[in-house]
Amino acid sequence: MIEQTLVLIKPDGVKRGLIGELVKRFENRGLKIVGLKMIWIDATFAKKHYTEDISKRRGEHVRNYLVNFLQESPVVAIVIQGVNAVENVRKIVGGTEPRAAQPGTIRGDFAHVSYSYADKKEMVVRNVVHASGNQEDAKYEIDLWFKPKEIYDYKTAHEEHIF
pLDDT tens digits for range 18-38: 999 999 999 999 999 999 999
Rounded to an integer, the average pLDDT of 56-71 is 85
CB atoms within 10 A of CB 8: 22
Residue 24 domain flag:
yes
Nearest-5° Cα angle at 91, 159 to 133: 100
pLDDT of residue 16: 97
Residue 158 domain flag:
no
Residue 6: phi and psi, rounded to 5, are -105, 140
Nearest to 78 by CA among 155, 119, 18: 18
DSSP code of residue 98:
G
Residue 23: phi and psi, rounded to 5, are -60, -40
Total structural domains within the chain:
1
Residue 121 has pLDDT above 70, yes or no: yes
Residue 49 has pLDDT above 60, yes or no: yes
Q: Name the percent of the chain lying above pLDDT 70.
A: 95
pLDDT interval class at 158 (50, 70, 90): confident
Is 61 noted as a catalytic residue in this protein?
no
pLDDT tens digits for range 91-111: 999 999 999 999 999 999 999
Residue 157 domain flag:
no
Q: Name the residue type at position 36.
A: L
Statement: the pTM of the whole predicted model exceeds 0.85: yes
Q: Which of 49, 61, 130, 161 is catalytic?
A: 130
Residue 59 has pLDDT above 80, yes or no: no
Tell me how far apart the terminal alpha carbons of the chain are, to the nearest angstrom: 15
Query: Which residue segment(s) compose the domain that 55 sits in?
Result: 2-147
Residue 161 domain flag:
no
Residue 153 domain flag:
no
Residue 85 domain flag:
yes
Residue 126 domain flag:
yes
CATH code of 18's domain: 3.30.70.141
With the CA atoms of 145, 102, 92 and 137 taken in that order, what torsion angle do they form, in degrees rounded to the nearest 10? -40
pLDDT of residue 57: 66
Distances in whole angstroms, Cα of residue 162 to Cα of each of 27, 69, 99, 100: 16, 42, 39, 37
